[in-house]
Chains A and B, each alone.
Chain A
Amino acid sequence: MRTGLYDKLVRAGATRRDILKGAASMAAIAAASGAGLGAFTRPASAASELRSKILQIPGVGKGQPTDADFQKVGELCLEATKANVKQGEFAGVELTFMGLNNQNLHNVLFRGFLKPWEAYTGAKISWIDLAQADYNARLQQSIATGTVDFDIIEMGAPFEGDVCGKGLTSEMPDWVKKQIDFDDLVNYLKPPVGTWDGKQYRVTIDGDTHNFNYRTDVFADADLAKQWKDGGGAGEWGVPKTWQQVQAVTKFLKGKKFKGQDVYGYLDAPKPWGGFGFYFLGSRATAYAKHPDDKAWLFDADTMKPRINNPAWVRAIQDVIDALPSEPADQINADPNTTGFQQFLAGTGSMIPWWGDIGSNVKTNDSSVIGDVTGFSILPGSDDVYNSKTGKWEKLASGPNYSPNCAYLGWGVYVMARVDKDEKKKKAAWSAAAHLGGKDLSIWTAMYPSGFQPYRNSHFDIPEWVAAGYDEAFITSYLKSEGDSYNHPNAAIEPRIPGIFQYYSAAEDILANTFAGKMKAQEGADAIAAAWEKLTDQIGREKQIKLYKASLGLA
C-alpha cells in the first residue's frame, strides 16, 4: 500500500489493524472516501443524490442560508426518521429544547430543521435560547437547584461531568445509534467522549479543535516580504509555523499598510466570554505546555495541582501581553466573537485561532470579505516545549512541538432522564436528537454557517465539497487542518471534569486584569492557580483527580 493512502486512511479514523484486515479495510476505504457503511441500508447513489441536493441549498457563494433553507434541508433529511417513526406517532407530545442562539446559529437552525420533523411526527417543541456567555450559569443553576426544565439540551462534552455524572441524562437507545450511523464519527469523538460510566448519552453534532486561520494574501505579498527582509526578519516572509514566528510577524506588521489599510498580525481575545475565552489562551499555550510524553497539561494528573502557573503557561500569557500593543487599539475589549466575526471575517487581522466556524463562514457568511484569501493549518508549534516532570524546557529531536487544542470536543444533543418515565416522550426526544445528528444533515451543517464543524469521517470527502461549490485548494487546506488536529498524536484534549467552566471563568477574569497591566504574567498565573486550587477543594479533590485521569485515558 502507498504510504500516502495509508496515512489518509489513518487520518480518516481507520486503525492499522482495520487496514490490514481484508474485510475491514473495505470499511476503512469507504470511510475515507466518505461513502461510509452505516447501518442505514440505502443505496449509495440515493444517499449521494440527497446530499448533492441539500448541499445546493442555498448554494455556496449564494448568500447566507435562511430559515426557509433550514426547513428545506430538514424536510429532505427526514427519511431516516421515517424509517423508525410512523407519521403522527408523537401527536400530543410536547418537548422543551435548550440550546444556544449564538451568532443566530445553533437553535436558530434547529428550529428550521425540526419544523418538518414536528409536522411529520406530531410532536411540538418549545425553545429555550441562551447566549453563549450565559450558558454555563443557566445549566449549573438548573442542575444545582433540581429545576431541569428541558427535555433535550444542546451541550458540550466538558459539561458531561456535571450532567451525565449526576444521572440527569437518558441513555441512548440502540436504534438511535443505527439511525445516526454512530461508527462514522472521527476517532477522537468516539467513547469515552459522550459516555459516562460506560453508557452512551450523546448524539454528536459537532467536532471541535482550534485551527489556525490566516490571510494568504498578506503572507504572499511581495511588498511586505521586502520590508520583512529589509527589516532583518528571520527567514522568508510567509505563514508562521511557530508561536515565536507569530510574535515576530505580529510585531513587524504594527503600523504597516496593506492594500491601503492598516494591517495587523495575530488577534488575541482578552475579554472574558463566559469561560469560553480561556480556550484562546489555551491555544497559545498548548505547544509550550503539552509535552508529547505527558498526557496532562492543565493539571498534574496525580494531585490536580494546577500547571497554569508553570513557565509554559506564563510564557503564553506573556506572549499576549507583548503582542497586544501591536494589535488593534481596542483589542483589550475583544472577545472571541469579536475577533472571529467582527474583525477577521471583516478583513482586520491576518491570523487567528478559532474553531472551524471561520472556515465554514469565510465562503458563506454575508459579512465575510476574505472568502478567497484565507488559508488554514494546525495551530503553530514551538521551538521548545516545557517538561513538567523535569521542570525544564526541551528541544525535541523531531523539531518544533505541535499540540492542537481540541477545545470543547464539540456540541452534542443530549436527552434528559426526565423523559424516561414516558416511553412515547422518550422516543420523541431521541428521534428529534437523532434527526439533528443525522449523517446527511451533518454534511450541510459542516459546509454552511451553523456553529458546527466537520466531525464524521464522511465529512472529509473533498470532491463532495468541491461539487458543492468550494474551491479545491481552499477546502483541502481547511479539512486538512481539521483532520490533522483531530488525529494529532500530541493533541491537547479537553478535560471532562465537573465545574471545568468555573475554572475557565475564574482564569478569564484574572487574565483580563493581567492583560490590562494590573499584574505581571507570573502574578496573574499564580492568582489563577490559587483560585483553581480553592475550586478543586470546593468541588472535591479526590473525585476530580479520578475524573481528570479518566478524561486523559489514564484511569
Chain B
Amino acid sequence: MADQILPTKDWPANAVPSDLIPPGRKRLGWAVMAAATLGLLATILVQILYKSEVDTIGFETWRPVVYAYVLWGVALGIGQVLTRGEDGQRALFLLPALLFTIAMVIFPTLFGFYIALTDWNLSSFSGRRFNGLDNFWQMLADPYYRNALFNMVLYVLAVLVEYVIAFGLALLLNAQIRARKFFRVVFLMPLMLSPVAVSWMVGKSLMEYRFGPAATLARHLGWENPAFFSDPIIARISIMVLDAWTFIPFMMIMLLAGLQAMSREILEAARVDGANAWQTFWQVTFPLMLPVSVTAVILRIIFKLKLADIIITVTSGGPGGATDSVSSFIYREYRDRSNVGYGTMLAMAYLVIIIVFVTWLLKFANRFVRNVN
C-alpha cells in the first residue's frame, strides 16, 4: 500500500519498491531488455542465414552468438532492476539458473525438434536440409522402431516381477535374521557395479555358451544347447534378468527404508487382534507400503525406459532386434549410421511418449493409492 511505503530517499539506489518506480526509468528498463533481445535474435538469425549459405554476412563460429546471449542475460538483469525495483533485484538471483536452463535444456530441445525435421546425415555433402515431416512418416513406417517400442512394453512389465522379488528381499532383510547386516551389503553390491561391467561379467562370461558356468550348469540340468542370447524369447528374458540383477537392490533398499519407517505399534495391534502373518501383510503392511512401493516402481520404470547399456554390450539388440530397446536402437541410428536427422526424430518421439506415459502413470498411481487406502 502506498501510504505504508517509506519515502523514496530512504531507499538504496536500486532497491525501490515496484510501485514507486518512475515511468521514465521503467521505459529505460524495457528499452534495454528489448534492445538486447532484438540484438540476440538478430545475431542468431544472421548466423543461421550465414551457416545455411543463404547470406554471406556472418561469423565463422557460433561464439559471437554465445557472447550475445550472455549480454542479453546481463541486459535482462539490468532491465529487471530498472523496471521492477526490489522485485527485480530478487529476480536477479534466479537469473543464472534461468540462463543455464535456457542454454542447456530449452535451446537443445528446440534445436532437437528442428534437427528432427532435417535430412541430416553426417556424410552428406549438403549438410542439413529441411525435409518437413519426412522423418516422422518414416518413423511411423519403421518396423524396427515399432519392434523396439514393443520390447520396451515387455521390459517395463518386467518391473512388476522385479518389485515382487525386491519386496520379498526387503521383508527378509527387515526380519530378525542372522547376519542381517552382511546380507544387506551383499544384496546391495550389484547396484554398486556399472551395468557394462555386469554385462561383461554375467552376460558375456557367466552366460557364455561354450565355457560359461551358467551354460555348463544348464547342460547338466538337461538343456542341450544353452545359448542364452540366440532364441528371441530366451534372449529377452536373459536381458531382463541381467537388468533385474543390477537394479532390484535399488527397489529393495527403498522398500526396506519404508518397512523400517513403519510403526511397530500398528503391526503389534494387528497381531493382538489375532491376524496371522499373511493377513498382517495383506491388510496392514502392503497398504501402508503402497506410497513407497509406487515411488519405487515409478522410479524403476523411469530407469527402465533408458535401458541401453546392457543391450549394447551383450547383444547389440539381436538376435534380429529381439532385445532392442528404443534407446539402443536410437544409439545405433546415430553411432553406426550417422543418421542424425532421423535419429533425433526417434529420440524426440520417444521423449513425447515418455512424458505422456509417466504423466498418466503418476495419475493412475495416485488414484490407485487413494482407492486402496
Which residues does A use to contact B, with CB under 8 Å? 133-134, 136-137, 140-141, 143-144, 162, 270-272, 274-275, 328-333, 335, 348, 498-499, 501-502, 505-506, 508-509, 512-518, 535, 538-540, 543
Q: Which residues of B contact A543 (CB under 8 A)?
A: 125
Q: Tell whether, in the assembled complex, residue A540 and residue B225 are in contact, meaning their CB atoms are under 8 Å apart.
A: no
User: Which residues of B have CB within 8 Å of A275?
Assistant: 336
| Complex Cα spacing A516 to B229, Å | 12
Chain B positions within 8 Å of A505 at CB level: 332, 336-337
A137→B210 contact, CB < 8 A: no
Residues in B with CB closer than 8 Å to A540 are 124-126
B319 within 8 A of A: yes
Chain A residue nearest to B123 (CB atoms) is A499
Residue among A141, A270, A329, A330 with max Cβ neighbours from chain B (10 Å): A330
Residues of A within 8 A of B43 (CB): none
Which of B124, B210, B322 contacts A539, CB < 8 Å?
A: B124
**Interface pair B122/A333, CB less than 8 Å apart:** no
Does B267 belong to the interface (CB within 8 Å)?
no
Interchain CB contact (< 8 A) of B209 among A329, A513, A538: A329
Given contacts A329-B209, A332-B230, contact A512 B122 (CB under 8 A): no
State whether B319 touches A140 (Cβ < 8 A).
no
Contact check, B338 vs A517: say whether CB atoms are below 8 A apart. Answer: no
Docked-complex contact A509 and B209, CB < 8 angstroms: no
Shortest C-beta distance, B218 to chain A (Å), equals 11
Tell me the complex Cα distance, A136–B338, Å: 8
Q: How far is the CB of A317 from chain B (nearest CB, A)?
A: 14
Q: Could you pull out 26 A-B pairs where Cβ atoms are within 8 angstroms?
A: A137-B334, A137-B336, A141-B122, A143-B122, A162-B123, A271-B318, A275-B336, A331-B230, A333-B319, A498-B125, A499-B121, A499-B124, A501-B336, A502-B338, A502-B339, A505-B332, A505-B336, A505-B337, A509-B337, A512-B317, A513-B321, A514-B320, A515-B320, A518-B320, A539-B125, A543-B125
> In chain B, residues 111-152, which have Cβ atoms closer than 8 Å to a Cβ of chain A?
119, 121-127, 144
Q: Which of chain A's residues have a CB closer than 8 A to the CB of B318?
A: 270-272, 332-333, 512, 516
Instruction: Given A333-B315, A502-B337, verify A328-B210 contact (CB < 8 Å).
Output: yes
Provide the B327-338 mask, 1 if CB < 8 A to any CB of A, else 0: 000001011111
Residue of B127, B209, B226, B337 most packed against chain A (CB within 10 A) = B337
- Of B122, B225, B226, B316, the residue contacting A271 (CB under 8 A) is B316
Instruction: Decide: B144 and A509 in contact? CB cutoff 8 A.
Output: yes
Question: Given A329-B209, A540-B124, A540-B125, are A516 and B320 neighbors across the interface (CB < 8 Å)?
Answer: yes
On whether the beta carbons of B320 and A506 are closer than 8 Å, the reply is no
> With an 8 A cutoff between CB atoms, is B227 at the interface?
yes
| A538→B124 CA distance, assembly (Å) | 6
CB contact between A333 and one of B229, B339, B340 (< 8 Å): that residue: B229
Label chain B's interface by main secondary structure: loop
Report the bound CA distance from A238 to B68 in whole Å: 74
A543–B335 Cα distance when bound, in Å, is 24
In the assembled complex, B232 has its CB within 8 A of some CB on chain A: yes
Given contacts A141-B122, A331-B230, 7 further A-B contacts (CB under 8 A): A133-B336, A271-B318, A274-B336, A509-B144, A516-B322, A538-B124, A540-B124
CA of A502 to CA of B115, assembled, Å: 19
Query: Assuming the A-B contacts A137-B335, A137-B338, A509-B332, are A502 and B321 also in contact, with contact meaning beta carbons closer than 8 angstroms in the complex?
Result: no
Inter-chain contact A329/B336, CB cutoff 8 Å: no
Known: A272-B316, A535-B121, A538-B119. A330 touches B337 (CB 8 A): no
State the main secondary structure of chain A at its contact with B. helix
Which residues of B sit under 8 angstroms from A330, Cβ to Cβ?
208-210, 227-230
- Number of B residues with CB within 8 Å of any CB on chain A: 35
8 Å CB contacts to A: which residues of B55-92? none
Assembled-state Cα–Cα distance A518/B318 (Å): 11
A538 in contact with B320 (CB, 8 Å): no
Decide: A332 near B336, CB < 8 A? Known: A140-B122, A162-B123, A498-B125. no
B315 contacts which chain A residues (CB < 8 A)? 271, 333
A508-B320 contact in complex given A141-B122, A143-B122, A499-B121, C-beta closer than 8 Å: no
Instruction: State A58–B339 Cα separation when bound (angstroms).
Output: 45
B319 touches A332 (CB 8 A): yes
Chain A residues near B335: list those with CB within 8 A.
133-134, 136-137, 274
Q: Determine the distance from Cα of A543 to Cα of B124 in the docked complex, in whole angstroms.
A: 10
A269 CB → nearest B CB, Å: 12
How far apart are A217's CB and chain B's nearest CB, in angstroms?
Answer: 19
Contacts of A509 in B (CB 8 A): 144, 332, 336-337
Q: Which 9 A-B pairs have the closest CB atoms?
A: A516-B320, A499-B123, A505-B336, A330-B209, A330-B227, A329-B225, A144-B122, A140-B122, A137-B335
A546 to chain B, nearest CB (A): 11
A144 to B341, CA, bound (A): 13
A144 surroundings in chain B (CB, below 8 A): 122-123, 127, 338, 340
In the docked arrangement, what's the CA distance between A457 and B189, Å?
56
Determine how close the nearest CB of chain A comes to the CB of B128; give it in whole angstroms: 9
- Chain B residues 323 to 363 lying within 8 A of chain A, measured CB to CB, are 332, 334-340
**How far apart sit A501 and B338, CA to CA, in the bound complex (Å)?**
9
Best-surrounded residue of B210, B230, B319, B321 (most CB of chain A within 10 A): B319
B229: chain A residues within 8 A (beta carbon): 330, 332-333
- B210 and A348 form a contact (CB under 8 A): yes
| Least CB distance, A299 to chain B, in whole angstroms | 15
Residue of B nearest to A141 (CB): B122
CB-CB under 8 A from B340, the residues of chain A are 144
The 8 A CB mask of B297-326 against A (1 = contact, 0 = none) is 000000000000000000111111110000
Q: Is the CB of B320 within 8 A of A513?
A: yes
B123 CB contacts on chain A under 8 angstroms: 140, 144, 162, 498-499, 502, 538-539
